Structure 1
């Protein structure tokens, strides 16, 4: 399979791993602490555990699993508001599958569905718009969530609904952006980070320029990476070589897919439909300035917050995580998933207690599923 098999070659992987070990040793000769590299994409976290890359890399290198799962970091208050909308008469709530199980303060969407709300899983916001066309007597709401990867499809669907005059369709917007939480993590005095493996799918939309501040203002290297094991290993090696050489640059390992300047059509659609929120709560991390998107007033007719009188800042926020849940500590690299006292006990993928166990891209769920695999066994 072109662009897959050649990036899963164990022989080539062993060569890159040898180079990683060599460069890690060279860095270790000048410092005592391990090198801490954070991946900030749930797909990367999933791949690291699936292929056992955290076990194959040398002891002087530590992966820190960042807040790369947009489903996982949704605050409880927003789930509660989504359930409130879904339980109103005449509403059809639509959402992606992973969002169905995110626990809110009262219940999850899947529990609300069991209690009688009409909640349907869709594969794209266009599916929700089609439901609105087929049910003109119902209010169809799409639970819009995700990083920059999914914001264009929601924006384009709103533009299509506006062009069609389909006013029984609206979006409960919870789209979030990647650069602000990276800045928040770098501003945290307790964080120990030496470099980043940058997100692949997000960068397909926004390009690599939005990460310039990481190298310019904080002196940390970042390499945008693909999702196959050799993509990730090469990206780690590129980060390590920058650290060894005393450089801090933005590099693009995934150039076969990611253009440096992003996708202009997607960027334009998002700029037309969204504007930044002053702040947004990230589950496990707290409030982060300008990290969320909201629908512009020009498209208020398709904004569920306006239509249903709910919205960020109108209800309780910063709801505490369940007792013993340490998702925030996992996302900031203070502990590994298995060090959480609830991991695999009260908190499993079937019955998630914490945010990072909800989606397969969450660090805890990925560790739970793939924790014992090695690259040779997974290929």
Structure 2
């Protein structure tokens, strides 16, 4: 049962990244400054509206509800060595379950699972592997990945059904997750364009960084001014740059599609968000762990078939795309009627555009 409680706490953490600090209120401070669950942050701050912040809030609430102590540790200069140093600090503070949120932790997870055999780990958005591409998930490691291509597909499909014909995809690092979002976005737009028999153009680019930047903002501003109506931003905090661009050019007409979590609160320019159901994923693992069914040594895939991904509809700002249309297309993904190309399924996004979409 002790282990169950540990996992529940850890899973709590899995829902976000934040700068070094405790998840519990002052009255919940750990005795002797020890913390049962830890989360390592990929960076030195928690960005507003990011998947890290959303995850952290869920973790924080779950920790308090279960009377579990938790702590997060920032990494000012992200690197494998610095991540491992943060893990050591967490272990020194009593961590028994450590959450590593993001694909940037894959090689770190590979090393940590053997270095700390008595500590349980949860890796989100990746599978442990070394620098040579050797994959292995130890008995003290659980990893979860999401079908970003399905969430991206829903976003592209909805945007075209809404009436937009000039789209953009601005990704950060050309990582598997970001590529899956982008490839799915193109395929969704292509499917809707074919149904409507309407020509669609799409700008498609990776910036090389998942950080918000003036460069990303300038690119988005250029696209919007050149006629792009809606841009799907994916990768870290890059969407904050896209939002600033939309607000600068025309806050009433230019739209943004968020990624990972519901970003509707960040700006009225956010049309919808392609989401990962982290709460469900974490909840599933927590229930298994609480039932003394340790899931170490396994990777779990969350997709439409198990409600692991979705498109934000409740807080979406659609005028014509309806819930009925969404339910119909989601059902096709869930049943497997629609099969999509993933990050390794095509040499480029242009190969997925079909006859009705032109990718620039």
Fold match by TM threshold 0.5: no
TM value normalised by structure 1: 0.38
Q: Which has the higher contact order (CA 8 A, sep 6+)?
A: 1
TM value normalised by structure 2: 0.39
